[in-house]
A and B are shown apart, each in its own frame.
Chain A
Amino acid sequence: MRPLEFEGSGAEYFKIWIVNVLLLICTMGLYYPWAKVRKQRYLYANSTFDGRNFEYHATGKQLFFGYLIAMTCFIIFLILQNISPLSGSIVLLLFFLATPWIIWRSLQFSTRMTSFSNVRLAFNGSLGPAYLNFLLLPFVLLLIVYVIPASAAVTLTMMDDISAAMIGGVVAVLALVVSILGIYFYAYLRKRNTSYVINGYRYGQGVFSVDLETKQYLKIILKTFGLAILSMIVVFAILAAVGSAVGVEDEFSAIQESMQESAKESIEDPDAAPPGPPPISGSFAILIGLVYFFIILVSLIVSAYSLTRQRTYSFANAKLDQNVSFVSTLKARSLAFVMVTNLFAIVLTLGLATPWATVRVLRLMLNNTLIDTDVDIDRYISQQQSEQSSLGEQIGDAFDVDIGIGL
């Protein structure tokens, strides 16, 4: 077992990145496809295993038309959303209906444009299961979480003579049933989605396969919930301590009110600005800053935990051709540390630290991906594939579609 390595440097990537940004500015964004190609080629070619590297093959010209269409859709969506919320929602609905297709095409395009040691990757999953996994089943989950409680509430209100104790009992049982069902179904969904993606991957004639169990995902999700609740309790304790230290207890009610108010203001038309400022004092500001800081911190830690656990489990069960195995040694602690410090570096440098942040995350991921060393890499051969357009991939890029498999 040996890890993948990253041979580039943040400083070298910074030069490529800043020139990309400069050209993006000069061309009013039209350079984006070429910028993306330079970035990907640098990052891929520096990712190595056993003296062989990855390569990104797409060209700017290939990405350009997909990019133009995707950007046009994005701008039309922005305009519609602002002048007519109804048609904006219709577009959003259409977009959700297209999401499985976008994911499917993105997977096909990005694997097809990637080679390792001169042999191309591919994605062989079909569109039908993509719709089942990324639209239909998530919709069922939505039904479980919202429709069961709602219909129960309606039934309860329609019954005439019913005691308060009975209502309480029904609510308690229902809450239990819904959360068990919901969490179990969510675990099942994660298992299906991950299996779909990994089982679809090909390396030359080599076939990736994975055998996953819902039970294991259930464990990971429950532990993630536990961690989230625990860290929330810790945060509240810290906030209460800080609050009494700077003496803001009296202001808690004021804060609550202004929060309600600002929540209402945000739904207002931006024009409808009231002439008076909200009362903001120093200690209040410290508290808001702390709350913001802790929300980010907790969500980064919790998502790092969930991502690394799922990665470890799926890698351990993935195989290439039944004889090449993989291990993920990524620790939640190190991922969370890199993510938090990256965020601070990016905010403090107004974005200029982005290239270093990208390199740090990539290096961490690669160094914690181990592959069998007895494998005979020399025996793989690229398979014939039809050329594909980059449209799906570019729409996914513009609208930030993330399947969250975390590979």
Chain B
Amino acid sequence: MIIHGKWYPPESSAQSVATLSITGDDYSLEIENQRLRAGRLEDISVSDRVGNIERKLVLSDGSVFATDNNDDIDKTFGDRNIIASIIHTVESHTGWVVTALVFTLLFSFSFFKWGVPWVGTTIAHALPQKTNELIATHTLDFLDKSMFKESELSVERQAAISNHFQSTVLPLESLQQDIPFKLHFRKWQVGKESVSNALALPSGDIILTDAFVELSKNQAEIDSVLLHEMGHVVKRHGLEMIIESMLVTTAVVLVVGDASGITDLGAGLGALLVSANYSQSNETESDIYALDLMLKANMDPIAFANILSRMMEREAPSGDSEVVDESKEADSNDENKDDNDKSLLDYLSSHPATAERIARAQRYSQCFRQQQTDCSMSER
């Protein structure tokens, strides 16, 4: 067999046209019909095949014969490196490539959809409660310095809510001894607007803003939101989010490391969408946690629906068409239509459409009126 190619002396860039003749286990190399080198095939080292790139054959004296005649090289030298030739076989057959593509797509989808949340939950709950407190060590101090002002609620009002929380709400959670839950009251202003909100830190600190307390009409509404916030802490959503974001970052670095720098922008957008999706499912989980406990404690879950819709109205002035439309749909409990209305923005927002959450609380309230203590069946 004769293979045409180029020849380089050892370590040199001088290039000459050459032919490699192979008979049995022996080879001879010729340049311009002059026999230059000869020897046995086993003394030649051959580079692995990648696509159709030129193959380099290093002869025993260190000189190099290069050729793009890949097929004859494969025939002559066979499978010097089994793994590399298997990989090349996979790369060069359309069927295999399509299989690889389908598998990669399915895997990536399942990895982000189920794998990451599963690993996040598993690790978050395997770690001791101290870790949960550790990640929130200075968070409250930081929030106090940067966002919050001291509460302007009367001391009596604060004490009443705190006492009720300690005596009635906390005992509903059997894990309460492990987690040092504590209530805080703060004023939170953005511009002239005071923010109506409740926040929970992984350490068990729950913060109620003045505007939120003023917005609530009764104790049951405050309790329902407190239970929702406790859900975040008990389900360790803070730790989960950290672990999930670490997983996503590592996966993205691995795959993007295989691409050009501009992909970073697209990957960043993707990671944002994915993590917004995770925190949505956390909100849902906390809601169900709170609603379940309310049913067990014989509290009407309608309180949660009420405070949610009032917060939504407050955030969005009545002129805002889209939000109002959505809440109307929720009122009529037309859920199919609601699902169809899910826009990209619902995924961008860290909370599921509030209408959906209100509808769920209303569903639970129906269960409550029918005196059921388990409404989880309605969660399909």
Q: Interface on A for B, CB 8 Å cutoff? A: 8, 12-25, 29, 32, 35-36, 38-39, 41-42, 45-46, 51-53, 55, 74-75, 78-79, 82-84, 116-119, 204, 257, 260-261, 264-265, 267-282, 285, 296, 300, 339, 342-343, 346-347, 350-352, 354, 357-358, 361, 377-382, 397-398, 400, 402
Contact = CB atoms under 8 A, between A and B. Distances in A.
Interface in B250-299: 250, 253-255, 257-267, 269-270, 279, 282-283
Contact of A118 (B12, B262, B322): B12
Contact of B257 (A13, A51, A280, A397): A397
A357 B262 CA distance: 10
Given A18-B97, A78-B246, A347-B266, A275 B225 contact: yes
A13 B241 contact: no
A387 B92 CA distance: 34
Interface residues of B, number: 97
B235 to A, nearest CB: 10
Interface stretch (B165-173, B197-205, B371-379): B197-205
B315 A261 contact: no
A18 B308 CA distance: 47
B320 interface: yes
Contacts of A117: 8, 13, 15
Given A268-B143, A273-B232, A278-B349, 11 more contacts: A13-B51, A18-B97, A38-B50, A78-B246, A271-B241, A273-B282, A275-B307, A277-B351, A285-B343, A339-B262, A357-B263
Given A42-B51, A52-B15, A342 B97 contact: no
11 contacts: A15-B91, A36-B258, A52-B13, A269-B201, A273-B283, A281-B321, A285-B343, A351-B263, A352-B101, A380-B13, A381-B13
Contact of B107 (A25, A41, A74, A274): A25
Given A18-B97, A118-B8, A379-B13, A39 B279 contact: no
Contact of A275 (B134, B250, B266, B308): B308
A357 B316 contact: no
B193 A257 contact: yes
Given A271-B201, A278-B349, A347-B269, A38 B143 contact: no
B47 to A, nearest CB: 8
Contacts of A35: 258
Contacts of B351: 273, 275-277
The 5 residue pairs across chains A and B that have the minimum distance between CB atoms: A45-B53, A271-B238, A272-B199, A118-B8, A382-B11
B233 A20 contact: no
Contacts of B320: 279, 281
Contacts of B308: 275-276
Given A16-B51, A276-B312, A279-B315, A342 B201 contact: no
Given A82-B135, A378-B13, A343 B199 contact: no
A278 B91 CA distance: 48
B90 interface: yes
Interface string B310-354: 011011100011110000000000000000000111001111011
A366 B330 CA distance: 59
B195 interface: yes
Contact of A39 (B233, B241, B258, B323): B258
* Most B C-beta atoms less than 10 A away, residue of A41, A271, A397: A271
B131 A83 contact: yes
A268 B202 CA distance: 12
Nearest to A260: B190
A266 to B, nearest CB: 10
B250 A55 contact: no
B259 A377 contact: no
Given A117-B13, A351-B266, A357-B260, A281 B97 contact: no
Given A25-B107, A257-B191, A277-B354, A271 B232 contact: yes
A272 B258 contact: no
Contacts of B323: 279, 281
B228 interface: yes
A338 to B, nearest CB: 10
B327 to A, nearest CB: 11
A380 B201 contact: no
Interface string B75-115: 00000000000010011100011001101100100000000
Contacts of A380: 12-13
Contacts of A79: 246
A272 to B, nearest CB: 4
A19 B91 contact: yes
Contact of B97 (A15, A29, A39, A274): A15
Contacts of B11: 118-119, 381-382
B265 A343 contact: yes
B51 A17 contact: no
Contact of A277 (B54, B258, B315): B315
A46 B52 CA distance: 9
Contacts of A82: 135, 242, 245-246
A75 B250 contact: yes
B110 to A, nearest CB: 11
A261 B92 contact: no
B242 A268 contact: no
A118 B315 contact: no
B41 interface: no
A282 to B, nearest CB: 6
Contacts of B259: 346, 351, 354, 357-358
* Most B C-beta atoms less than 10 A away, residue of A264, A267, A275: A275
B332 to A, nearest CB: 20
B228 A275 contact: yes
